[in-house]
Protein backbone atom coordinates (compact mmCIF):
# COMPACT_ATOMS: atom_id res chain seq x y z
CA UNK A 1 0.00 0.00 0.00
CA UNK A 2 1.51 3.33 -1.09
CA UNK A 3 1.03 6.16 1.40
CA UNK A 4 -0.67 9.28 0.02
CA UNK A 5 1.30 12.46 -0.59
CA UNK A 6 -0.05 15.88 0.43
CA UNK A 7 -1.10 18.23 -2.41
CA UNK A 8 1.70 20.75 -1.82
CA UNK A 9 4.39 18.07 -2.05
CA UNK A 10 2.73 16.67 -5.17
CA UNK A 11 2.80 20.08 -6.83
CA UNK A 12 6.46 20.57 -5.94
CA UNK A 13 7.43 17.12 -7.20
CA UNK A 14 5.51 17.61 -10.43
CA UNK A 15 7.61 20.64 -11.26
CA UNK A 16 10.85 19.00 -10.18
CA UNK A 17 10.24 15.84 -12.19
CA UNK A 18 9.20 17.70 -15.33
CA UNK A 19 12.28 19.88 -14.95
CA UNK A 20 14.47 16.77 -15.00
CA UNK A 21 12.92 15.67 -18.30
CA UNK A 22 13.16 19.23 -19.64
CA UNK A 23 16.88 19.37 -18.75
CA UNK A 24 17.42 16.09 -20.55
CA UNK A 25 15.68 17.50 -23.61
CA UNK A 26 17.75 20.68 -23.45
CA UNK A 27 21.00 18.74 -23.07
CA UNK A 28 20.33 16.81 -26.27
CA UNK A 29 19.04 19.82 -28.21
CA UNK A 30 22.22 21.75 -27.40
CA UNK A 31 24.65 18.94 -28.18
CA UNK A 32 23.12 17.01 -31.09
CA UNK A 33 24.95 17.23 -34.40
CA UNK A 34 21.96 17.02 -36.73
CA UNK A 35 19.52 19.95 -37.05
CA UNK A 36 16.42 17.74 -36.88
CA UNK A 37 17.24 17.23 -33.20
CA UNK A 38 19.23 20.39 -32.45
CA UNK A 39 16.87 22.85 -34.18
CA UNK A 40 13.62 21.00 -34.87
CA UNK A 41 13.62 19.19 -31.49
CA UNK A 42 12.59 15.83 -32.92
CA UNK A 43 13.38 14.03 -29.67
CA UNK A 44 11.94 13.19 -26.27
CA UNK A 45 12.94 12.14 -22.73
CA UNK A 46 11.02 10.81 -19.78
CA UNK A 47 10.70 8.53 -16.77
CA UNK A 48 8.93 5.18 -17.01
CA UNK A 49 7.49 2.58 -14.64
CA UNK A 50 9.86 -0.15 -13.46
CA UNK A 51 7.45 -3.04 -14.07
CA UNK A 52 5.15 -1.98 -16.91
CA UNK A 53 7.16 0.67 -18.76
CA UNK A 54 4.19 3.06 -18.51
CA UNK A 55 4.96 6.75 -18.92
CA UNK A 56 5.36 8.46 -15.54
CA UNK A 57 6.75 11.86 -16.52
CA UNK A 58 7.58 13.53 -19.81
CA UNK A 59 9.13 16.92 -20.35
CA UNK A 60 7.29 19.87 -21.84
CA UNK A 61 9.59 20.21 -24.88
CA UNK A 62 9.72 16.64 -26.22
CA UNK A 63 7.47 15.27 -28.95
CA UNK A 64 4.04 14.22 -27.63
CA UNK A 65 3.80 11.41 -30.18
CA UNK A 66 6.61 9.64 -28.33
CA UNK A 67 4.73 9.57 -24.99
CA UNK A 68 2.81 6.35 -25.61
CA UNK A 69 5.37 4.93 -28.05
CA UNK A 70 8.19 5.23 -25.52
CA UNK A 71 6.17 3.23 -23.00
CA UNK A 72 6.09 0.40 -25.54
CA UNK A 73 9.83 0.88 -26.09
CA UNK A 74 10.63 0.48 -22.41
CA UNK A 75 8.30 -2.53 -22.25
CA UNK A 76 10.26 -4.10 -25.13
CA UNK A 77 13.43 -3.87 -23.02
CA UNK A 78 11.59 -5.25 -19.95
CA UNK A 79 10.38 -8.20 -22.04
CA UNK A 80 13.88 -8.91 -23.34
CA UNK A 81 15.26 -8.96 -19.81
CA UNK A 82 12.44 -11.23 -18.67
CA UNK A 83 13.38 -13.67 -21.44
CA UNK A 84 17.16 -13.48 -21.30
CA UNK A 85 18.01 -11.88 -17.93
CA UNK A 86 21.26 -10.06 -17.33
CA UNK A 87 20.10 -6.62 -16.17
CA UNK A 88 22.74 -4.76 -14.18
CA UNK A 89 23.33 -1.29 -12.82
CA UNK A 90 25.03 0.86 -15.43
CA UNK A 91 23.33 -0.85 -18.40
CA UNK A 92 21.91 1.13 -21.31
CA UNK A 93 19.91 -0.46 -24.13
CA UNK A 94 19.75 0.84 -27.70
CA UNK A 95 17.27 0.01 -30.46
CA UNK A 96 15.13 1.40 -33.28
CA UNK A 97 12.81 -1.54 -34.05
CA UNK A 98 9.48 -0.01 -35.17
CA UNK A 99 7.59 -3.22 -34.42
CA UNK A 100 8.76 -3.41 -30.78
CA UNK A 101 7.77 -0.02 -29.48
CA UNK A 102 9.44 2.12 -32.12
CA UNK A 103 7.98 4.44 -34.71
CA UNK A 104 10.29 4.25 -37.72
CA UNK A 105 13.91 3.23 -38.11
CA UNK A 106 15.38 6.75 -37.90
CA UNK A 107 14.11 7.20 -34.33
CA UNK A 108 16.89 5.82 -32.13
CA UNK A 109 15.93 4.86 -28.58
CA UNK A 110 18.13 4.54 -25.50
CA UNK A 111 16.67 2.97 -22.35
CA UNK A 112 18.45 2.93 -18.98
CA UNK A 113 17.43 1.38 -15.63
CA UNK A 114 17.58 3.46 -12.44
CA UNK A 115 18.51 1.45 -9.35
CA UNK A 116 18.16 2.38 -5.67
CA UNK A 117 19.88 0.21 -3.07
CA UNK A 118 20.18 -2.61 -5.60
CA UNK A 119 16.50 -2.49 -6.59
CA UNK A 120 15.12 -1.32 -9.93
CA UNK A 121 13.21 1.92 -9.23
CA UNK A 122 12.22 3.14 -12.71
CA UNK A 123 13.58 3.68 -16.23
CA UNK A 124 14.94 6.68 -18.06
CA UNK A 125 14.63 6.81 -21.83
CA UNK A 126 15.71 9.01 -24.72
CA UNK A 127 14.67 9.04 -28.36
CA UNK A 128 16.00 11.18 -31.18
CA UNK A 129 15.66 11.23 -34.97
CA UNK A 130 19.02 10.32 -36.53
CA UNK A 131 19.75 11.54 -40.05
CA UNK A 132 20.70 8.29 -41.75
CA UNK A 133 21.00 4.59 -40.87
CA UNK A 134 21.55 3.14 -44.32
CA UNK A 135 18.87 1.82 -46.64
CA UNK A 136 18.23 2.56 -50.30
CA UNK A 137 17.52 6.28 -49.90
CA UNK A 138 19.63 8.82 -47.98
CA UNK A 139 17.69 9.88 -44.91
CA UNK A 140 15.58 6.72 -44.76
CA UNK A 141 12.33 8.10 -46.21
CA UNK A 142 12.10 5.71 -49.15
CA UNK A 143 8.70 6.09 -50.88
CA UNK A 144 9.31 2.92 -52.91
CA UNK A 145 10.24 0.66 -50.01
CA UNK A 146 8.32 -2.61 -49.83
CA UNK A 147 10.34 -4.00 -46.90
CA UNK A 148 11.98 -2.37 -43.89
CA UNK A 149 15.33 -3.62 -45.19
CA UNK A 150 15.09 -0.99 -47.93
CA UNK A 151 14.60 1.81 -45.38
CA UNK A 152 17.45 1.48 -42.89
CA UNK A 153 19.23 -0.87 -40.52
CA UNK A 154 16.86 -2.45 -37.97
CA UNK A 155 18.22 -2.94 -34.45
CA UNK A 156 16.43 -4.95 -31.74
CA UNK A 157 17.04 -4.01 -28.08
CA UNK A 158 20.76 -4.56 -27.44
CA UNK A 159 23.09 -3.47 -24.68
CA UNK A 160 25.05 -0.45 -25.79
CA UNK A 161 26.53 -0.07 -22.32
CA UNK A 162 27.02 -3.13 -20.10
CA UNK A 163 27.54 -2.39 -16.39
CA UNK A 164 28.97 1.03 -17.24
CA UNK A 165 31.26 -0.10 -20.11
CA UNK A 166 30.50 1.15 -23.62
CA UNK A 167 30.43 -1.61 -26.22
CA UNK A 168 32.52 -0.08 -28.97
CA UNK A 169 31.56 -2.87 -31.38
CA UNK A 170 27.95 -1.61 -31.37
CA UNK A 171 29.12 1.94 -32.06
CA UNK A 172 31.32 0.69 -34.91
CA UNK A 173 28.39 -1.19 -36.49
CA UNK A 174 26.23 1.93 -36.31
CA UNK A 175 28.96 4.03 -37.95
CA UNK A 176 29.59 1.50 -40.72
CA UNK A 177 25.93 1.52 -41.75
CA UNK A 178 25.41 5.28 -42.11
CA UNK A 179 26.20 7.82 -44.81
CA UNK A 180 26.81 10.39 -42.06
CA UNK A 181 28.54 8.52 -39.21
CA UNK A 182 29.92 11.66 -37.58
CA UNK A 183 26.42 13.11 -37.25
CA UNK A 184 25.08 9.90 -35.72
CA UNK A 185 28.01 9.64 -33.32
CA UNK A 186 27.34 13.18 -32.11
CA UNK A 187 23.64 12.47 -31.62
CA UNK A 188 24.44 9.29 -29.72
CA UNK A 189 26.80 11.15 -27.42
CA UNK A 190 24.14 13.79 -26.84
CA UNK A 191 21.55 11.17 -25.88
CA UNK A 192 23.98 9.45 -23.51
CA UNK A 193 24.82 12.77 -21.88
CA UNK A 194 21.11 13.50 -21.46
CA UNK A 195 20.62 10.16 -19.70
CA UNK A 196 23.66 10.79 -17.48
CA UNK A 197 22.27 14.17 -16.44
CA UNK A 198 18.79 12.75 -15.85
CA UNK A 199 20.20 9.99 -13.69
CA UNK A 200 22.14 12.47 -11.55
CA UNK A 201 19.20 14.86 -11.17
CA UNK A 202 16.80 12.06 -10.29
CA UNK A 203 19.16 10.54 -7.72
CA UNK A 204 19.51 13.95 -6.06
CA UNK A 205 15.71 14.33 -5.96
CA UNK A 206 15.29 10.89 -4.38
CA UNK A 207 17.96 11.70 -1.79
CA UNK A 208 16.15 14.92 -0.92
CA UNK A 209 12.50 13.83 -1.00
CA UNK A 210 12.77 10.12 -0.26
CA UNK A 211 12.13 7.09 -2.44
CA UNK A 212 8.73 6.33 -0.90
CA UNK A 213 7.45 9.87 -1.45
CA UNK A 214 8.48 9.97 -5.10
CA UNK A 215 7.03 6.49 -5.73
CA UNK A 216 3.74 7.60 -4.17
CA UNK A 217 3.74 10.73 -6.32
CA UNK A 218 4.09 8.63 -9.47
CA UNK A 219 0.95 6.71 -8.51
CA UNK A 220 -0.93 9.91 -7.65
CA UNK A 221 -0.07 11.58 -10.98
CA UNK A 222 -1.29 8.60 -13.03
CA UNK A 223 -4.49 8.34 -11.01
CA UNK A 224 -5.14 12.06 -11.43
CA UNK A 225 -4.69 11.83 -15.20
CA UNK A 226 -7.16 8.95 -15.30
CA UNK A 227 -9.74 10.89 -13.26
CA UNK A 228 -9.45 13.95 -15.47
CA UNK A 229 -9.77 11.91 -18.66
CA UNK A 230 -12.82 10.10 -17.34
CA UNK A 231 -14.38 13.42 -16.41
CA UNK A 232 -13.67 14.83 -19.87
CA UNK A 233 -15.26 11.79 -21.55
CA UNK A 234 -18.29 12.00 -19.26
CA UNK A 235 -18.89 15.55 -20.52
CA UNK A 236 -19.32 14.20 -24.07
CA UNK A 237 -22.68 12.84 -25.23
CA UNK A 238 -22.89 9.05 -25.32
CA UNK A 239 -23.17 7.60 -28.79
CA UNK A 240 -21.43 6.21 -31.86
CA UNK A 241 -19.59 8.58 -34.19
CA UNK A 242 -17.72 7.71 -37.39
CA UNK A 243 -15.28 9.59 -39.56
CA UNK A 244 -13.19 8.49 -42.55
CA UNK A 245 -10.29 9.97 -44.47
CA UNK A 246 -7.67 8.73 -46.93
CA UNK A 247 -3.98 8.69 -47.76
CA UNK A 248 -3.02 9.54 -51.38
CA UNK A 249 -1.25 6.22 -51.96
CA UNK A 250 1.50 4.04 -50.51
CA UNK A 251 4.19 5.08 -53.00
CA UNK A 252 3.87 1.79 -54.87
CA UNK A 253 0.22 1.54 -55.92
CA UNK A 254 -1.55 4.78 -56.81
CA UNK A 255 -4.69 3.85 -54.88
CA UNK A 256 -6.38 5.71 -52.02
CA UNK A 257 -5.85 4.16 -48.57
CA UNK A 258 -8.68 4.35 -46.04
CA UNK A 259 -8.19 5.45 -42.43
CA UNK A 260 -11.56 4.87 -40.76
CA UNK A 261 -12.69 5.39 -37.18
CA UNK A 262 -15.81 4.27 -35.33
CA UNK A 263 -15.83 6.05 -31.98
CA UNK A 264 -18.07 4.98 -29.11
CA UNK A 265 -18.62 7.06 -25.97
CA UNK A 266 -20.29 5.34 -23.01
CA UNK A 267 -20.31 7.10 -19.64
CA UNK A 268 -16.65 7.64 -18.70
CA UNK A 269 -15.14 5.34 -21.33
CA UNK A 270 -14.26 5.72 -24.99
CA UNK A 271 -13.61 3.07 -27.63
CA UNK A 272 -11.61 3.82 -30.79
CA UNK A 273 -12.28 1.16 -33.41
CA UNK A 274 -10.20 1.25 -36.61
CA UNK A 275 -11.43 -2.07 -38.04
CA UNK A 276 -12.69 -0.54 -41.30
CA UNK A 277 -9.28 0.85 -42.24
CA UNK A 278 -7.35 -0.51 -45.22
CA UNK A 279 -5.34 -3.67 -45.00
CA UNK A 280 -1.52 -3.50 -44.78
CA UNK A 281 0.01 -1.95 -47.88
CA UNK A 282 3.17 -2.57 -49.89
CA UNK A 283 4.65 0.90 -49.38
CA UNK A 284 6.03 2.69 -46.31
CA UNK A 285 2.87 4.10 -44.72
CA UNK A 286 2.16 1.13 -42.45
CA UNK A 287 2.43 1.75 -38.70
CA UNK A 288 2.70 -0.47 -35.64
CA UNK A 289 0.09 -0.82 -32.91
CA UNK A 290 2.30 1.20 -30.56
CA UNK A 291 2.47 4.03 -33.07
CA UNK A 292 -1.29 3.95 -33.61
CA UNK A 293 -1.95 4.25 -29.88
CA UNK A 294 0.59 7.08 -29.68
CA UNK A 295 -1.20 8.96 -32.46
CA UNK A 296 -4.51 8.54 -30.65
CA UNK A 297 -2.95 9.90 -27.46
CA UNK A 298 -1.77 13.03 -29.27
CA UNK A 299 -5.21 13.67 -30.77
CA UNK A 300 -6.93 13.26 -27.40
CA UNK A 301 -4.38 15.52 -25.70
CA UNK A 302 -5.19 18.26 -28.23
CA UNK A 303 -8.87 17.89 -27.44
CA UNK A 304 -8.53 17.49 -23.65
CA UNK A 305 -5.67 19.85 -22.84
CA UNK A 306 -6.27 19.74 -19.09
CA UNK A 307 -5.27 16.07 -18.82
CA UNK A 308 -1.62 15.48 -17.74
CA UNK A 309 0.81 13.67 -20.05
CA UNK A 310 1.21 10.23 -18.50
CA UNK A 311 -0.11 6.71 -18.95
CA UNK A 312 -3.11 7.28 -16.69
CA UNK A 313 -4.94 9.24 -19.35
CA UNK A 314 -5.19 6.15 -21.58
CA UNK A 315 -6.80 3.89 -18.97
CA UNK A 316 -10.39 4.87 -19.91
CA UNK A 317 -9.65 4.32 -23.62
CA UNK A 318 -10.16 1.01 -25.42
CA UNK A 319 -8.50 0.41 -28.77
CA UNK A 320 -9.62 -1.92 -31.54
CA UNK A 321 -6.70 -2.15 -33.99
CA UNK A 322 -6.94 -5.41 -35.96
CA UNK A 323 -3.80 -6.96 -37.41
CA UNK A 324 -5.67 -7.05 -40.70
CA UNK A 325 -5.15 -3.27 -41.05
CA UNK A 326 -2.14 -1.13 -41.89
CA UNK A 327 -2.40 0.31 -38.34
CA UNK A 328 -0.99 -2.84 -36.74
CA UNK A 329 1.92 -3.60 -39.04
CA UNK A 330 4.41 -6.36 -38.32
CA UNK A 331 7.87 -7.02 -39.71
CA UNK A 332 9.02 -6.48 -42.38
CA UNK A 333 6.27 -4.07 -43.52
CA UNK A 334 7.92 -0.70 -44.29
CA UNK A 335 7.10 2.14 -41.87
CA UNK A 336 9.29 5.11 -42.88
CA UNK A 337 6.27 7.29 -43.64
CA UNK A 338 4.60 6.68 -40.28
CA UNK A 339 4.17 10.42 -39.79
CA UNK A 340 1.75 10.66 -42.71
CA UNK A 341 -0.45 7.88 -41.36
CA UNK A 342 -0.65 9.12 -37.78
CA UNK A 343 -1.53 12.58 -39.08
CA UNK A 344 -4.52 11.08 -40.86
CA UNK A 345 -5.26 9.12 -37.69
CA UNK A 346 -5.29 12.31 -35.63
CA UNK A 347 -7.51 13.93 -38.24
CA UNK A 348 -10.20 11.25 -38.10
CA UNK A 349 -10.32 11.55 -34.31
CA UNK A 350 -10.78 15.32 -34.68
CA UNK A 351 -13.54 14.66 -37.21
CA UNK A 352 -15.38 12.14 -35.04
CA UNK A 353 -15.19 14.33 -31.93
CA UNK A 354 -16.53 17.24 -33.99
CA UNK A 355 -19.71 15.22 -34.51
CA UNK A 356 -20.01 14.44 -30.81
CA UNK A 357 -19.00 17.82 -29.38
CA UNK A 358 -18.77 20.71 -31.86
CA UNK A 359 -17.51 23.02 -29.09
CA UNK A 360 -14.30 20.96 -28.91
CA UNK A 361 -14.02 20.60 -32.68
CA UNK A 362 -10.85 21.14 -34.70
CA UNK A 363 -10.90 21.18 -38.50
CA UNK A 364 -8.38 19.14 -40.44
CA UNK A 365 -4.72 20.24 -40.20
CA UNK A 366 -2.50 20.29 -43.29
CA UNK A 367 -1.66 16.68 -42.57
CA UNK A 368 1.78 16.01 -44.07
CA UNK A 369 5.35 16.63 -42.96
CA UNK A 370 6.61 16.56 -46.58
CA UNK A 371 9.71 14.57 -45.64
CA UNK A 372 12.33 15.90 -48.06
CA UNK A 373 15.76 14.30 -48.33
CA UNK A 374 18.51 15.85 -50.47
CA UNK A 375 21.93 14.23 -50.55
CA UNK A 376 25.25 14.59 -52.34
CA UNK A 377 28.87 13.48 -52.28
CA UNK A 378 30.11 16.99 -51.57
CA UNK A 379 32.52 18.83 -53.87
CA UNK A 380 34.66 20.27 -51.09
CA UNK A 381 33.93 18.09 -48.07
CA UNK A 382 32.40 14.85 -46.83
CA UNK A 383 29.20 13.26 -48.03
CA UNK A 384 26.10 15.09 -46.81
CA UNK A 385 22.43 14.30 -46.20
CA UNK A 386 19.92 17.07 -45.67
CA UNK A 387 16.59 15.98 -44.25
CA UNK A 388 13.86 18.43 -43.36
CA UNK A 389 10.14 18.68 -42.82
CA UNK A 390 7.96 21.68 -43.55
CA UNK A 391 5.04 23.69 -42.20
CA UNK A 392 1.47 24.29 -43.24
CA UNK A 393 -1.86 25.49 -41.90
CA UNK A 394 -3.71 24.14 -38.87
CA UNK A 395 -7.47 23.75 -38.81
CA UNK A 396 -9.86 26.39 -37.55
CA UNK A 397 -11.93 25.91 -34.39
CA UNK A 398 -14.97 27.52 -32.73
CA UNK A 399 -12.47 29.83 -31.00
CA UNK A 400 -10.88 31.30 -34.12
CA UNK A 401 -8.73 30.95 -37.24
CA UNK A 402 -6.14 28.21 -37.55
CA UNK A 403 -2.42 28.92 -37.23
CA UNK A 404 -0.54 29.68 -40.43
CA UNK A 405 2.81 28.05 -41.27
CA UNK A 406 2.65 25.89 -38.16
CA UNK A 407 4.00 22.44 -37.46
CA UNK A 408 1.70 19.45 -37.49
CA UNK A 409 -0.21 18.39 -34.35
CA UNK A 410 1.92 15.27 -33.90
CA UNK A 411 4.57 17.28 -32.12
CA UNK A 412 5.96 20.39 -30.52
CA UNK A 413 8.86 20.30 -32.97
CA UNK A 414 9.83 23.43 -34.84
CA UNK A 415 10.47 23.78 -38.56
CA UNK A 416 14.25 23.86 -39.12
CA UNK A 417 15.33 27.48 -39.71
CA UNK A 418 16.35 28.48 -43.22
CA UNK A 419 19.59 29.99 -41.90
CA UNK A 420 20.67 26.66 -40.37
CA UNK A 421 19.83 24.62 -43.47
CA UNK A 422 21.65 27.03 -45.78
CA UNK A 423 24.68 27.14 -43.48
CA UNK A 424 24.98 23.34 -43.23
CA UNK A 425 24.12 22.26 -46.77
CA UNK A 426 24.79 23.43 -50.36
CA UNK A 427 21.28 24.78 -50.89
CA UNK A 428 19.73 28.24 -51.11
CA UNK A 429 16.10 29.03 -50.33
CA UNK A 430 14.84 31.49 -52.94
CA UNK A 431 11.36 31.61 -51.41
CA UNK A 432 9.96 30.93 -47.93
CA UNK A 433 6.51 32.50 -47.71
CA UNK A 434 2.87 32.04 -46.81
CA UNK A 435 0.81 30.47 -49.59
CA UNK A 436 -2.20 32.63 -50.60
CA UNK A 437 -5.62 30.98 -50.98
CA UNK A 438 -4.43 27.75 -49.34
CA UNK A 439 -6.71 27.90 -46.26
CA UNK A 440 -10.20 26.47 -45.93
CA UNK A 441 -12.85 29.20 -45.86
CA UNK A 442 -15.38 29.54 -43.06
CA UNK A 443 -16.65 31.67 -40.22
CA UNK A 444 -13.14 30.99 -39.00
CA UNK A 445 -10.69 30.19 -41.76
CA UNK A 446 -7.95 27.64 -41.57
CA UNK A 447 -4.31 28.61 -41.29
CA UNK A 448 -2.32 29.23 -44.46
CA UNK A 449 0.14 26.80 -45.92
CA UNK A 450 3.57 27.82 -47.20
CA UNK A 451 5.64 28.05 -50.37
CA UNK A 452 9.25 26.90 -50.26
CA UNK A 453 11.59 27.13 -53.23
CA UNK A 454 15.10 25.70 -53.03
CA UNK A 455 18.00 26.13 -55.45
CA UNK A 456 20.74 23.51 -55.54
CA UNK A 457 24.32 24.77 -55.18
CA UNK A 458 25.76 21.31 -55.93
CA UNK A 459 24.65 18.24 -57.85
CA UNK A 460 22.49 16.02 -55.63
CA UNK A 461 19.75 13.42 -55.45
CA UNK A 462 16.33 14.05 -53.95
CA UNK A 463 13.41 12.07 -52.47
CA UNK A 464 10.08 13.23 -51.08
CA UNK A 465 7.55 11.36 -48.95
CA UNK A 466 4.48 13.54 -48.54
CA UNK A 467 0.69 13.45 -48.54
CA UNK A 468 -2.50 15.49 -49.07
CA UNK A 469 -2.01 15.70 -52.82
CA UNK A 470 -5.42 14.17 -53.61
CA UNK A 471 -7.76 14.72 -50.64
CA UNK A 472 -7.60 18.18 -49.07
CA UNK A 473 -7.68 18.83 -45.30
CA UNK A 474 -11.34 18.86 -44.30
CA UNK A 475 -13.47 21.66 -42.93
CA UNK A 476 -16.13 21.16 -40.24
CA UNK A 477 -19.52 22.67 -39.36
CA UNK A 478 -19.84 24.00 -42.91
CA UNK A 479 -16.25 25.17 -43.27
CA UNK A 480 -14.40 24.61 -46.53
CA UNK A 481 -11.48 22.31 -47.34
CA UNK A 482 -7.95 23.65 -47.66
CA UNK A 483 -5.62 23.60 -50.67
CA UNK A 484 -3.87 20.46 -51.87
CA UNK A 485 -0.18 19.69 -51.46
CA UNK A 486 1.94 20.45 -54.54
CA UNK A 487 5.57 19.58 -55.35
CA UNK A 488 7.71 20.08 -58.47
CA UNK A 489 11.32 20.45 -59.61
CA UNK A 490 13.04 21.86 -62.67
CA UNK A 491 14.40 19.74 -65.49
CA UNK A 492 15.82 20.56 -68.93
CA UNK A 493 12.23 20.37 -70.19
CA UNK A 494 10.69 22.58 -67.51
CA UNK A 495 8.92 21.86 -64.23
CA UNK A 496 8.08 18.24 -63.40
CA UNK A 497 5.77 16.81 -60.68
CA UNK A 498 5.76 13.29 -59.17
CA UNK A 499 3.72 10.58 -60.89
CA UNK A 500 2.59 9.55 -57.39
CA UNK A 501 1.49 13.15 -56.63
CA UNK A 502 3.14 13.33 -53.22
CA UNK A 503 5.95 10.78 -53.34
CA UNK A 504 9.09 10.44 -55.45
CA UNK A 505 12.61 9.11 -55.12
CA UNK A 506 15.96 8.97 -56.96
CA UNK A 507 15.56 12.34 -58.66
CA UNK A 508 18.89 13.61 -60.02
CA UNK A 509 19.39 17.35 -59.54
CA UNK A 510 22.12 19.36 -61.22
CA UNK A 511 23.58 22.50 -59.75
CA UNK A 512 21.13 25.33 -60.33
CA UNK A 513 18.05 23.09 -60.32
CA UNK A 514 15.16 24.22 -58.13
CA UNK A 515 12.52 22.49 -56.02
CA UNK A 516 9.15 24.03 -55.22
CA UNK A 517 6.89 22.83 -52.41
CA UNK A 518 3.44 24.33 -51.83
CA UNK A 519 1.96 22.97 -48.61
CA UNK A 520 -1.74 22.75 -47.69
CA UNK A 521 -3.50 25.04 -45.29
CA UNK A 522 -5.96 23.96 -42.61
CA UNK A 523 -9.67 23.35 -42.96
CA UNK A 524 -12.24 26.03 -42.11
CA UNK A 525 -14.88 26.10 -39.36
CA UNK A 526 -18.47 27.27 -39.89
CA UNK A 527 -20.23 28.78 -42.87
CA UNK A 528 -18.15 31.32 -44.80
CA UNK A 529 -21.14 33.68 -44.96
CA UNK A 530 -20.84 34.16 -41.19
CA UNK A 531 -17.24 35.44 -41.30
CA UNK A 532 -16.71 38.92 -39.87
CA UNK A 533 -16.44 41.46 -42.75
CA UNK A 534 -13.46 43.10 -41.02
CA UNK A 535 -11.66 39.74 -40.99
CA UNK A 536 -12.39 39.28 -44.69
CA UNK A 537 -11.03 42.74 -45.48
CA UNK A 538 -7.89 42.05 -43.43
CA UNK A 539 -7.28 38.73 -45.24
CA UNK A 540 -7.54 40.50 -48.61
CA UNK A 541 -5.32 43.39 -47.49
CA UNK A 542 -2.60 41.01 -46.29
CA UNK A 543 -2.79 38.89 -49.44
CA UNK A 544 -4.07 35.77 -47.65
CA UNK A 545 -7.05 35.52 -50.02
CA UNK A 546 -7.83 36.98 -53.42
Number of residues written out for the chain: 546
Cross-strand pairs, 237? none
Between β-strands 384-388 and 427-434, what pairing exists: parallel, antiparallel or unpaired? unpaired
Residue 414 pLDDT class (50, 70, 90 cuts):
confident
Residue 377 pLDDT class (50, 70, 90 cuts):
confident
How far apart CA 31 and CA 29 sit, in angstroms, is 6
Of the given ranges (28-32, 101-105, 109-113, 133-137), which has the lowest mean pLDDT? 101-105
The full DSSP string for 382-409 is S-EEEEE---BPPPPBTTBPPPSSBPPT
Show me where the domains of the chain are located.
7-225, 361-546
Backbone angles phi, psi at 429, to 5 degrees: -85, 120
Q: List, for residues 267-290, the tens digit of each pLDDT value.
A: 999 999 999 999 999 999 999 999
116-151 burial, b if ≥16 CB within 10 A, otherwise e? eeeeebbbbbbbbbbbbbbbebbbbbbbbbbebbbb
For residues 530 and 477, is the Cβ–Cβ distance under 8 A? no
Given this model, what pLDDT does residue 501 score?
94
CB atoms within 10 A of CB 418: 15
Cis peptide preceding 332, ω within 30 of 0: yes
How far apart CA 243 and CA 263 sit, in angstroms, is 8
Examine the pLDDT at 64 and tell me if it is beyond 90.
no
The rounded percent of the chain whose pLDDT value lies above 70 is 98
- Which of 63-77, 139-153, 296-310 is modeled with the greatest confidence? 139-153
Of the given ranges (54-63, 80-89, 223-232, 426-435), which has the lowest mean pLDDT? 54-63
Given this model, what pLDDT does residue 130 score?
97
For residues 388 and 418, is the Cβ–Cβ distance under 8 A? no
Given this model, what pLDDT does residue 35 score?
94
Angle at 441 between CA 530 and CA 399, to 5 degrees: 65
Pick 213 or 60 by higher pLDDT.
213
Burial of 106 (0-12, 13-18, 19+ CB in 10 A): buried
Q: List, for residues 485-509, the tens digit of each pLDDT value.
A: 999 999 999 999 999 999 999 999 9
What average pLDDT does the structure give for the chain? 95
How far apart CA 485 and CA 435 sit, in angstroms, is 11
Amino acid sequence: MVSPVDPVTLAILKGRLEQIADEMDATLFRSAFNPIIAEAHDACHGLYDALTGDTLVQGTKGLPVFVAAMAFSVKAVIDKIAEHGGLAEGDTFLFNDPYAGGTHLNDMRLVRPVFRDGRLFCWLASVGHWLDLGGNVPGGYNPKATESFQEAMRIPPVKLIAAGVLRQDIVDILAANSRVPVSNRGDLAGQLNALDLGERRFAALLDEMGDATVAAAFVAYSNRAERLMRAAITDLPDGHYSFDDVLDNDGIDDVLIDICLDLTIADDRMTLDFSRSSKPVQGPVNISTATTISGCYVALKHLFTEVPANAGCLRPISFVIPETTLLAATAPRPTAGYTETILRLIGVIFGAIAKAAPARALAGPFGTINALSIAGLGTSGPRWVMFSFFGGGLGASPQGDGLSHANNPISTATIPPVEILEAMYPVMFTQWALRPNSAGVGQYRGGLGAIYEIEMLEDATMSLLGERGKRAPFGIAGGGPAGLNRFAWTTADGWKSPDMISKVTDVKLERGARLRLETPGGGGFGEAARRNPDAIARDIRLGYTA
